[in-house]
Structure 1
Amino acid sequence: MRTSTEPKPKTNPLQTLELPVHGMDCAECVRHVEHALAKTPGVASVQVFLSAEKAILQVDPSVASIEQLRAAVAEAGYTVPEPAEEATTKAHAGYTRKVWTVLALVFGAVLFVVVIGEWLGLFEQITARVPFAIGAALVVLSGWPVFANVARAARRRQITSHTLMTLGVLAALAVGEWATAAVVVFFMRVGDYVERFTAEGARTALRDLTALTPKQARVVRDGVEQEIPVEAVRPGEIVVVRPGEQIPVDGVVVEGHATVDQATITGEPLPVEAEPGSRVFAATIARLGSLRIRTERVGADTTFGRVVRLVQEAESNRAEVQRFADRFSSYYLPIVVAIAALTFLIRRDPLAMAAVLVVACSCSIALATPVAMLAAIGRAAREGVLIKGGKYIEALARANVLLLDKTGTLTLGRPQIERVIPFNGVEPTEALRLAASAERDSEHPLAEAVRAHAARQGIRLSEPTRFEAIPGKGVIAEVEGHRVAVGSHRLLAAQDAALVASVKETQGSVLWVVCDGKPIAALVATDTLRPETPLAIQRLRELGVEQIELLTGDNPGAAAALAEPLGIPYRANLLPEDKIAVVRDYQRQGKVVVMVGDGVNDAPALAQADVGVAMGAAGADIALEAAHVALMREDWMLVPIIFAIARRTMRVVKMNLLLTAVYNVVGLALAAAGLLPPILAAAAQSIPDLFILGNSARLLKNDPARNSSRDSRR
């Protein structure tokens, strides 16, 4: 019997698991769930997302089971619903806002009654007639869910914001003030609803986005049209879309014509025409026509699916100000307990101690940043802008250097060959034929221009036998036994410097054609500046961007033709590594750098910048992954819009934090001095949450894109 001595291939046992988690209201909740899941055996990593109400885990399924994970979440005080329960929850989500609105009104009415009652001394007369045992029982029953969560957190040696209020309740009960304890519990529960309402406001834009995900598709199988779940569609299958229906997949139109509303992807209200050869995207709508589409991507792999996923996960890229708030909360709670203890030691007044504990709820500190960030990210997504996290909003708000690519960024990206300059006795038509044949497999806009120019002249191309793309230089191909290179002047030998000088001042992009080491032509291409760009540059200057500069691999003449009318400096003849070096040089000077490019050729520079912005990223995998901000449509007015959104968001965050800080300092001082009774402290502790809700909601209602679009069309 023979035994194999070959080592068995190592397999990765980890699997990605998405777990819905309900009951989270703030960043503190997220930390508790992450901590509970991370301790579960078999869990390698975990990320919890407040806006998406889910956890994404890397788990070893042979060690960690769903039941164990559900138990860990339950132990932390939250729930993992069954699929049927989750569907029911989503079905009733539309009613929650009305319920919370009513609760907010009730909160205001009760707050008014409490304040007047405390001022007139009516509470003591009413509550004195209720036996203490009954009052204490009412307190325990009404606050039991909160008390249970606090007890579970205490067993894990964790302090939550409710720990303070629970201590305040216990202190009030200890001195026989059951009415005070009841009011504290009441406002504790109302505060929970207010916090849920705040978090729900941040989730609204994401829910609206995910609700657009296609559910059904009509496919042609064995010559028969069938309606099936979209997840069952296979790449390569033909999907039929009728007038007014949602396109369920990413693919290419093979038959039919239609006007397609792509607002869900690009945010652009104007529809586009789809015909055979056009690319279309899932979650868009076909109007005024029907289409047959060859499927390329389905479900989460579609452009829309990737956008939804990236928006959901954006909150994991937390801004530094948010990290500060998280760290502050962890230190703040023990400090409050110490102040309460010191108050009792000095004043010997348990009610003053209870008031200190009650007034110092820290959820408002934890909510001040993430709610505003999520609101801004959700609003931007509606306008066709994908921002991958709060840290990029913060960087955009501080940015003072903006670097720009040329082709496809400042320009429309549809260059045309204006003229062919032949050398060494080669006919212009022959030089163009060799160049277009060499560029046959290239996706660069200039390559498309060369092929299009050859097609207009009726030139028949040859099939290259070898093709190589050289970043920053061009392409090299084998055409009919000749080594043909097409690209920048870097393809030329040193002795050809005179040729380069002869076309140096050409107002256009120059493509050199070299055959077997000998230059045979220069192709001059021109592109058109995007019409909205001058206004966008003006807006950026008004927003305080100090330095705007053009970086291009093109020649100085072509760069000057675009940069000088815009009044911006330029650097020409740059390789991709040169652009990275420029970004790093500014960063070494302490500048915050934003780079705007097409997301494909400029991917390294986009990744190096503090914020990389990809123009027209819809359908481009590299752009969606490499950039920190993806503009889903090619509209330069979106660039000042993202700067404006970022600056406004940071103003809202600072206002949230300032009010919370002032409130806590004043509230603690009044409570410690005995000037703020526990009842009023309990009523007042939800005020910062209400302010944060209203202040952050302004970001959801802001509509800068539409206003700017109107301005740009005047």
Structure 2
Amino acid sequence: MTTLQTITLPVQGMDCTTCAQHIERDLSLLPGVQHAQVLLSAEKATVQFDSTQLDRATLVRRIEQSGYRVPSASDAAPAAADLGTLSSSIIVVFGLIFLAVIGLVILGEQFGWLDALTTVVPWPIGLALVLVGGFPIFRSVIRSALKGTVISHTLMSVGVVAALVIGEWPTAVLVVLFMRTGEYAERFTTERARRAVKDLTAMAPKTARVERNGHAMTIPLDAVLVGDVVIVRPGDAIPVDGTVVSGRATVNQAAITGESMPVEVGPDQTVFAATLAAAGSLRVQATAVGADSTFGKVIALVEEAEAHRADVQRIGDTFSAYYLPVVAGIAILTFLLRHDPLATAAVLLVACSCSFALATPIAMLASIGAAAKQGMLIKGGKYIEALAQADVLLVDKTGTLTVGRPTVTAIVPLDTTPAAEVLAMAAAAERDSEHPLAAAIRQAAQRRRLPVQAPESFTAVPGHGIRAQIGADTIMVGNQRMVGDGAAHPEGDRLEAAGNTVVAVARNGAVIGLIALADTVRPEITDALAAIRAQGIGTIEMLTGDNARVAAALASQVGISYRANLLPEDKIAVVRDYQSKGHRVVMIGDGVNDAPALAQAHVGIAMGVVGTDVALEAAHIALMRDDWMLVPAVLAVAKRTMQVVKGNIAFTAMYNLVGLTLAALGVLPPVFAAAAQSLPDLGIMANSARLLRLRGIPKRRATTIPVAERAADSCTDGCCTLAEPATAIIPLQDRRL
């Protein structure tokens, strides 16, 4: 019997990734802990442990011993916007107060006021002011020292002690003031980055109105059960994923898809938690609640994105680990060479390691949260970094370049079997398939009111098609690899050349007919591909299991290269081939059938994944709505984010280099050094905060792509009439290929 248990604990007081790493390390050292993950953005720790060795109280105690707080369930939740939603005017006031304090310090130094204080006020009072003001910081430093760890405030605390030893207690008091100011600045910076994630979380309703025993009652969301019928009134946020039982409403799905244009929903349609019923009322039967809903999974993935750190962030973390010992070494050299305790103290005080730790994750958190609000779910900084470097884009065809909602355009009997029977046999074989091609065949049979039998057995053959047992007959629906050479027919060639995808239907090994289907290319694809090329993607290639003639027709119409007749393993091989040549590869697919290729690529992007659990898990980036303009948009987010990260790192490195140099030369007094060390955090915040507001996402402009020829109706018995001629008819091949 397993004794492993996983628990999630809220953690308060973290300011940067270094804090999260300290807690992770401290938890991991406990006997019985298998895995510990601390997320700065979500302010929580997830711990997997042996319940026979540990309990929740022990884990909480260890976190609190590390200098952080685990609020109890009865504590009021911290306001999500206390710091994150401060207005610009408040930020300006904060800056003015900070500058005023620095001004007073300058005047104090200029006119000797600080020195005069040492003769008027006894040293013990100064010591008491330092201890009281700096107690929270000194406590963290001492706890870390007892564990053999040096944190960012350790060196500054040594500087405070040095100031006290030489009798400069006013300097020590001001240093403590600036330490607390810097601590506040770090919290402010981190909260600004958390803002987008918290805004997302705030969209989730906390209660639901359900029908119980014939009565409507309002209950907490965590008390709602799958199967409950939830009442949604006009203006309410829908609290669960579910199916509409009755009623009609206009629903704003921006919380899930980022699309502000509302959709109309009615009976038997699916709705999602956190979407807003702008007009109309609904009765919804819950199919997923809380963390199991689509919105809950989006929140979880956004929070956990922090765990997938970019390489540049790992470099920053490593630099931070070595930075403090280097600063200590510089301080020692300064004292040995200059014999100046004030300059030595200034070196210790000016060092700002937290700014290095904040430079990358703050920008990543801001971008990931802001992108999620626009329907772009990025699962980690490593994928932002890889996407910004990408130079090859590989694209699935069906459901990606095309809409993925095919229709039957023609049926060609090849023996004495009537066209209606060919369609009925195919629909029966495809009855249990979830593939869009199968759905199109079933819909065609349903529209013609054909009887469709339930198959006794059903097997999907990857790269080939479907095999099913229907009564005494074995029915196969698929390509020539599935049914043999009997699928080759001049009429099938003509239909493919006209822009259709053709599948063969075989009964007991003999081909009895062909079914032609067509799909529509996405109208925004031309503009999207142009925008992608403008962002530096030099190679765009379509990978498809379709035959070369059909693939060539589509590729020429959208202006990209192609590879045809590919099996799933062939697509993976193409990705690996590009990677072996040093390219950074992005793969775009539907997130289900293309999962292996998506996983193999440096960045896998799945389109239109709302309500699709497999797609959410398979891709590194999930686009919550079927809009190709989101692809250049997420590329722009990645490139802009990396520009901000590089700017943060360059600014921090230069600032610290100048500060350490001036301090070591005695140009920067300890008081000014302490003031200076808190400024980089504000600079990083100001630069990274630009990412909280995404620049305008490109809008799609409807276009049509004409088809060279429209296939004629090949149905000989009048039961299968083609749809009216239309633009943008593109062949659809079975995505089982």
Matches within 5 A, 1:20-169: 20-85=10-75, 87-90=76-79, 93=82, 97=86, 102-119=93-110, 121-169=112-160
Query: Could you list the per-position Cα deviations for residues 177-215 of structure 1 after superposition, in whole angstroms to 9, with x for gaps in the alignment?
Result: 212222211111100000000000011111111112222
Supply the AA of the counterpart residue of 2:281. Answer: S
Matches within 5 A, 1:655-666: 655-666=647-658
Match of 2:536 in 1: 544
> How many angstroms apart in 2 are the aligned matches of 1:314 and 1:218?
33
State which of 436, 440, 448 in structure 1 corresponds to 2:431.
440
After superposing the two structures, state which structure 1 stretch, 493-502 or 190-199, moved more: 493-502
> How many angstroms apart in 2 are the aligned matches of 1:338 and 1:712?
63
* In the alignment, structure 1 residue 363 sits paired with structure 2 residue 354: yes
Q: Report the CA distance between 1:581 and its aligned residue.
A: 1.0
Q: Report the CA distance between 1:126 and its aligned residue.
A: 4.9
Supply the AA of the counterpart residue of 1:380. Answer: A
Query: Could you list the per-position Cα deviations for residues 8-34 of structure 1 after superposition, in whole angstroms to 9, with x for gaps in the alignment?
Result: xxx221111111111000011111111
Q: Report the CA distance between 1:101 and its aligned residue.
A: 6.6
Q: 1:95 to 1:101 in 2, by over 3 A?
A: farther
Matches within 5 A, 1:372-383: 372-383=363-374
* In the alignment, structure 1 residue 693 sits paired with structure 2 residue 693: no
Give the count of matched residue pairs: 701
Match of 1:6 in 2: none
Q: Report the CA distance between 1:635 and its aligned residue.
A: 0.8
SS of residue in 2 equivalent to 1:709: coil
> How many angstroms apart in 2 are the aligned matches of 1:496 and 1:288?
52
Match of 1:172 in 2: 163
Q: Report the CA distance between 1:323 and its aligned residue.
A: 0.7
After superposing the two structures, state which structure 1 stretch, 273-282 or 372-381, moved more: 273-282
Q: Report the CA distance between 1:644 and its aligned residue.
A: 0.4
Match of 1:3 in 2: none
SS of residue in 1 equivalent to 2:8: strand
SS of residue in 2 equivalent to 1:246: coil
Matches within 5 A, 1:191-590: 191-494=182-485, 505-590=497-582
Q: Report the CA distance between 1:521 and its aligned residue.
A: 1.9
> How many angstroms apart in 1 are the aligned matches of 2:71 and 2:22?
18
Q: 1:57 to 1:101 in 2, by over 3 A?
A: farther
> How many angstroms apart in 2 are the aligned matches of 1:290 and 1:128?
76
Q: Report the CA distance between 1:140 and its aligned residue.
A: 1.9
Q: Report the CA distance between 1:254 and its aligned residue.
A: 2.1
CA contact (8 A) 2:331 2:344 kept: yes
Query: Could you list the per-position Cα deviations for residues 23-72 of structure 1 after superposition, in whole angstroms to 9, with x for gaps in the alignment?
Result: 00001111111112122233221100111111011122332222222221
Q: Report the CA distance between 1:710 and its aligned residue.
A: 7.0
SS of residue in 1 equivalent to 2:398: helix
> How many angstroms apart in 1 are the aligned matches of 2:324 and 2:431?
66
Supply the AA of the counterpart residue of 1:89. Answer: P
Instruction: Specify which structure has the bigger relative contact order, considering alpha-carbon pairs within 8 angstroms and separated by 6 or more residues.
Output: 2
Q: Report the CA distance between 1:255 and its aligned residue.
A: 1.6
TM-score by length of 1: 0.94
Q: Report the CA distance between 1:543 and its aligned residue.
A: 0.5
SS of residue in 2 equivalent to 1:82: coil
Query: Could you list the per-position Cα deviations for residues 386-416 of structure 1 after superposition, in whole angstroms to 9, with x for gaps in the alignment?
Result: 1111111111111111111111111111111
Q: Report the CA distance between 1:711 and its aligned residue.
A: 6.6
CA contact (8 A) 1:103 1:190 kept: no
Query: Could you list the per-position Cα deviations for residues 537-560 of structure 1 after superposition, in whole angstroms to 9, with x for gaps in the alignment?
Result: 111000001111111112223322
> How many angstroms apart in 1 are the aligned matches of 2:85 and 2:293?
31
CA contact (8 A) 1:317 1:389 kept: yes
> How many angstroms apart in 2 are the aligned matches of 1:221 and 1:262?
27
After superposing the two structures, state which structure 1 stretch, 346-355 or 98-107, moved more: 98-107
Q: 1:646 to 1:116 in 2, by over 3 A?
A: farther
Query: Could you list the per-position Cα deviations for residues 247-288 of structure 1 after superposition, in whole angstroms to 9, with x for gaps in the alignment?
Result: 111111122211111111111101111112211111112232
Query: Could you list the per-position Cα deviations for residues 118-149 of structure 1 after superposition, in whole angstroms to 9, with x for gaps in the alignment?
Result: 35555434555333332222122211111111
Query: Could you list the per-position Cα deviations for residues 315-369 of structure 1 after superposition, in whole angstroms to 9, with x for gaps in the alignment?
Result: 0111111111111111111011011001100000011111111111200000000
Match of 1:597 in 2: 589
> How many angstroms apart in 1 are the aligned matches of 2:318 and 2:405?
50
Query: Could you list the per-position Cα deviations for residues 567-599 of structure 1 after superposition, in whole angstroms to 9, with x for gaps in the alignment?
Result: 110111211111111111111111111111111
> How many angstroms apart in 2 are the aligned matches of 1:92 and 1:542?
38
CA contact (8 A) 1:423 1:519 kept: yes
* In the alignment, structure 1 residue 709 sits paired with structure 2 residue 704: no
Q: 1:712 to 1:698 in 2, by over 3 A?
A: farther
Supply the AA of the counterpart residue of 2:295. Answer: F
Q: Report the CA distance between 1:511 and its aligned residue.
A: 1.5
> How many angstroms apart in 2 are the aligned matches of 1:453 and 1:487?
17
RMSD: 2.1
After superposing the two structures, state which structure 1 stretch, 359-368 or 560-569, moved more: 560-569
Q: 1:91 to 1:265 in 2, by over 3 A?
A: closer
Q: 1:713 to 1:504 in 2, by over 3 A?
A: closer
After superposing the two structures, state which structure 1 stretch, 491-500 or 94-103, moved more: 94-103
State which of 609, 614, 625 in structure 2 corresponds to 1:617.
609
> How many angstroms apart in 1 are the aligned matches of 2:77 and 2:395?
48
> How many angstroms apart in 2 are the aligned matches of 1:138 and 1:17?
41
SS of residue in 2 equivalent to 1:554: coil
CA contact (8 A) 2:85 2:195 kept: no
Structure 2 residues not aligned, in runs of 5+: 705-737
Query: Could you list the per-position Cα deviations for residues 490-516 of structure 1 after superposition, in whole angstroms to 9, with x for gaps in the alignment?
Result: 213257556676666342222221221
Q: Report the CA distance between 1:108 and its aligned residue.
A: 2.3
CA contact (8 A) 2:523 2:701 kept: no
SS of residue in 2 equivalent to 1:661: helix
After superposing the two structures, state which structure 1 stretch, 251-260 or 119-128, moved more: 119-128
CA contact (8 A) 2:80 2:198 kept: no
Supply the AA of the counterpart residue of 1:150. Answer: V
Residue identity (%): 54
Supply the AA of the counterpart residue of 2:306. Answer: E
CA contact (8 A) 1:40 1:68 kept: no
SS of residue in 1 equivalent to 2:30: coil
SS of residue in 2 equivalent to 1:578: helix
Match of 1:18 in 2: 8
Q: Report the CA distance between 1:96 and its aligned residue.
A: 8.0
Q: 1:670 to 1:55 in 2, by over 3 A?
A: same
